[in-house]
Amino acid sequence: MWNVHEVTLSGNHRTNNICESWNSGFKHLVGSANPSLWTVITSLKKDVAHTETENLQHQHGIQPRKRRRMKNTNHQNRLKTLCDQLVGGEKTVKEFLVAIGQCIRLK
């Protein structure tokens, strides 16, 4: 019915590309669409330092703090609620699709 329906119900990430998050983060780290070679090298060094820090923290039992935008969290919660309502029989497929359509964010 929906390719990420089960993932949404379980509360996991809905993306199917594990590199998407890193690519987005690196884009913000570099800070421009056409960076110089030196900017890319500096950004890669920063990313390596950040990763090494997270690895050391993990080795010492410190859980990394995930930053999540409230907007994304609220959107995920709305989708999970709608999926739960569909599975629980509170909504028909037609009502579910209309509600999902109202959750779509256009940029």
Residue 81 within a domain: yes
pTM of the model: 0.47
46 and 28 within one domain: yes
| Structural domains of the chain, count | 2
Residue 61 has pLDDT above 80, yes or no: yes
73 and 61 within one domain: no
- What separation in angstroms does the CA of 55 have from each of 19, 61, 64, 66? 18, 10, 9, 14
- The answer to whether the beta carbons of residues 103 and 76 sit under 8 Å apart is no
Residue 2 has pLDDT above 70, yes or no: no
Mean pLDDT of 64-70: 69
82 and 44 within one domain: no
**CA–CA separation, 86 vs 10, rounded Å?**
14
**CA–CA separation, 78 vs 64, rounded Å?**
26
79 and 63 within one domain: no
Looking at the chain, the whole-number percentage of residues with pLDDT higher than 90 is 20
- The answer to whether the beta carbons of residues 67 and 5 sit under 8 Å apart is no
Q: How many helices (H) and strands (E) does the chain have?
A: 5, 0
56 and 80 within one domain: no
**CA–CA separation, 47 vs 26, rounded Å?**
8
73 and 42 within one domain: no
Residue 7 within a domain: no
**CA–CA separation, 82 vs 25, rounded Å?**
29
The pLDDT assigned to 1 comes to 42
Mean pLDDT of 28-54: 89
Q: What pLDDT band is residue 3 in, cutting at 50, 70 and 90?
A: low
Which residue range forms the structural domain that includes residue 50? Answer: 17-67
Q: What pLDDT band is residue 67 in, cutting at 50, 70 and 90?
A: low
55 and 23 within one domain: yes
**CA–CA separation, 29 vs 47, rounded Å?**
8
